[in-house]
Chains A and B, each alone.
Chain A
Amino acid sequence: MDFLLASLIDGLLLGFVYGIAAMGLTLIWGVMNVINLSHGPIIALGMFGVYYIFSALGIHPYLALIAVAAGGLLLGGLIYFVAVHRVIDAPHLSTLLATFSVNMIIIGLGTAAFSASPRNVDFTLGSFEIGSITILGTRLVAAILAMFVTGGLYLFLYKSRYGRYIRAVTDNRDAAELMGVPSVRILALSFGLGTMLAAISGGLIATFFPFTILAGGSYELKSFVVSVLGGLGNPVGALLAGLILGAIEGIIPTVLPTTWVPVLEFVLFILILLFRPQGLFKTKSS
């Protein structure tokens, strides 16, 4: 029983990190109806960012996250202007191909630069025990930071001028433009925020799991499951769905072999698409 509880808590803590990764994906979809297929490699770049800043410069991984976040924001803006902007009004296939190309470019350059061998941020916060349950320090801190990031995103979207502009462009781009909102810059900012969230989640994951340049792929798939579960375009839903996925990942291995985890996750994905395509949580527009 304790073992089950420990696994559940472990999974939930991880779920917060999945949540912010999925928020990045779902934010971009919500604002500009683009499915960002470069999401995974950006998660991996976040991992490498924390790894190199820590191992080469000796800067604490959680401080390195600030640089990774800033880098993610700028990289996202760059990807928007280079790859997405000119196809933003084209059919979905064009934006899928554009972001997939970015995906291939990052993986190609990343493999050349970092090779495909696994890395590991050599850093630990130890663990502590509550009763008979052991919690890994890095996971707890990752969950807490993910909560702060979520809170920050909420405050930004609902309390700041630029957050209001993002919501306005999401709602009606032409009308926002007519009210004086520079919508192209707002789209670039939104794309930047989406990739920033991906990079932060990667940086957090790197503090407790080993990784390669290809590691982002599986987290990208999880982000899709989480986004759909939470209702595509709904950031709050993404966080809650991240927790659900984390809990599933924690509990399944206690009763079934670990290899069943992705199988059951994607069965869930298909069931949601079939029976509740709007997501588990009511989105604001429904």
Chain B
Amino acid sequence: MGMLEIRDITSGYGEVQILWGTTLNLEKGDLTSLVGANGAGKTTTMRTIMGLLKPWQGSVWFDGQDISNMSAHEKAEIGVVLVPEGRQLFTQMSIEENLEMGASPKRARPHIQRNLERVYAMFPRLKERRLQKAGTMSGGEQQMLAVARGIMAEPIVLMIDELSLGLAPVLVLDLFQTLQKLKSEGMTMMLVEQNVQMALAVSDYAYVMAHGKVELHGNSRELAKNEYVRKAYLGL
């Protein structure tokens, strides 16, 4: 049984159904990636897992517990943390306040000092600018802050939606190295990516989504060799 399981979820906005029975399984300690074209339903999947959108059908399980009906803040409390698409920082707050906000869950509060040192060591830029307002930073710095804020929540499962979007390749490599480090510390992670090549290169297991469903899944290295994936997503 996985650390986080999503079983046959359907969901959408108003009358518009986006997810048509999505099933995912995140093994403990794995870095799993969720890839697919724009509009495949990846972000909707994330929002439904967190409870920002109510699942119409299906269920979400965390460590053997049914958490389908929990609200997003309750999920954050138990260690299921999402770094949302588009960063969603508190733009009027300083970098340090954003990080303190990350440590809001009760389970994260006692470790706030240790985690601050940890994320400042990962992203020295954030330390240099810690009193600056988050809204005034560059896109790359904002992405660092979004990831750092997520780490401050002391996650058991950390999901990151569109880590690489709009970032310089050098910075993306940096961020991926940070993820590898977190993985080596035993964190279970999911990476939602449009950059399929990059995602398959860093993850252990991958799901390919299309039209609101999982189209393919498997070991990332094998998927990268898969003829269909190479043609449809890697342009090879």
Contacts and interface: CB of A to CB of B under 8 A. Distances in A.
Smallest CB-CB A-B distances: 3 pairs: A180-B76, A180-B105, A175-B88
Interface of B: 50, 52, 71-73, 76-77, 81-82, 84, 88-93, 97, 100-102, 104-106, 108, 149, 153
Contacts of A284: 92
A177 B72 contact: yes
Interface stretch (A144-152, A166-174, A192-200, A266-274): A166-174
B101 A168 contact: yes
26 contacts: A164-B93, A164-B100, A164-B101, A168-B90, A168-B101, A171-B93, A172-B90, A172-B91, A174-B72, A174-B84, A175-B84, A175-B88, A175-B90, A176-B73, A177-B73, A178-B81, A178-B82, A178-B88, A179-B73, A179-B153, A180-B73, A180-B77, A180-B106, A181-B73, A284-B92, A285-B92
A162 B89 CA distance: 18
Given A174-B52, A174-B84, A175-B84, A181 B104 contact: yes
A18 interface: no
Main secondary structure of the interface of A (DSSP, over half): helix
A172 B71 contact: no
Given A171-B90, A171-B91, A178 B72 contact: yes
Given A164-B97, A171-B92, A171-B93, A179 B104 contact: yes
Contacts of A165: 104
Given A180-B104, A181-B73, A175 B97 contact: no
Which of A177, A181, A285 has the largest number of chain B CB atoms within 10 A? A177
A178 B92 contact: no
Given A165-B104, A284-B92, A285-B92, A179 B97 contact: no
Nearest to B79: A180
A277 to B, nearest CB: 20
Contacts of A168: 90, 93, 101
Most buried by A among B77, B81, B90: B90
User: Most A CB atoms within 10 A — which of B52, B73, B76, B92?
Assistant: B73
A4 B93 CA distance: 43
A172 B97 CA distance: 14
A99 interface: no
Nearest to B105: A180
Interface of A: 164-165, 167-168, 170-172, 174-183, 284-285
A173 to B, nearest CB: 10
Contacts of B82: 178
B90 A167 contact: yes
A180 B105 CA distance: 5
Given A164-B100, A164-B101, A165-B104, A178 B76 contact: yes
Contacts of B76: 177-180
B73 A167 contact: no
B89 A175 contact: yes
Contacts of A178: 50, 52, 72-73, 76, 81-82, 84, 88
Contacts of B93: 164, 167-168, 171
A165 to B, nearest CB: 7
Given A170-B92, A178-B73, 20 more contacts: A164-B97, A164-B100, A168-B90, A171-B92, A171-B93, A172-B91, A174-B88, A176-B101, A178-B50, A178-B72, A178-B81, A178-B84, A179-B73, A179-B76, A179-B149, A180-B105, A180-B153, A182-B73, A183-B73, A285-B92
A285 B91 CA distance: 9
Nearest to B109: A161
A155 to B, nearest CB: 15
B106 to A, nearest CB: 8
Contacts of B100: 164
A167 B94 CA distance: 12
Contacts of B88: 172, 174-175, 178
B93 to A, nearest CB: 7
A183 B106 CA distance: 15
A176 to B, nearest CB: 7
A89 B50 CA distance: 19
A181 B52 CA distance: 13
A179 B146 CA distance: 11
A62 B188 CA distance: 56
A177 B76 CA distance: 8
A73 B86 CA distance: 35
A255 to B, nearest CB: 42
A183 B71 CA distance: 10
B101 A179 contact: yes
B188 to A, nearest CB: 17
A121 B88 CA distance: 50
Contacts of B72: 174, 177-178
